[in-house]
Amino acid sequence: MSNFSADNETAGSQTGGVQSVDRAISVLEILAQRGEAGVSEVATEIDVHKSTAFRLLGALEARGLVEQAAERGKYRLGFGIVRLAGAVTGRIDITQQGRPVCERLAEELEETVNIAVMEKQFAINLFQVRGPAAVSAHNWVGQLTPLHATSSGKILLAHMPARERAELLVEAGLEKLTPRTLTSKTKLEKNLAEARERGYAWTLEELEVGLHAMAAPVRSRDGEVIAAVTVSGPSYRFTEDRMHELAPALIRGAAEISHRMGYLG
- Per-residue pLDDT tens for 93-132? 888 889 999 999 999 999 999 999 998 889 999 989 988 7
Q: What angle do CA 250, 211, 115 make, to 5 degrees?
A: 40
Render pLDDT for 125-172 as a digit per residue (tens, 0 to 9).
998 998 877 665 567 788 889 999 999 999 999 999 999 999 999 999
CB 109 within 8 A of CB 254: no
Distance CA 237, CA 250 (A): 17
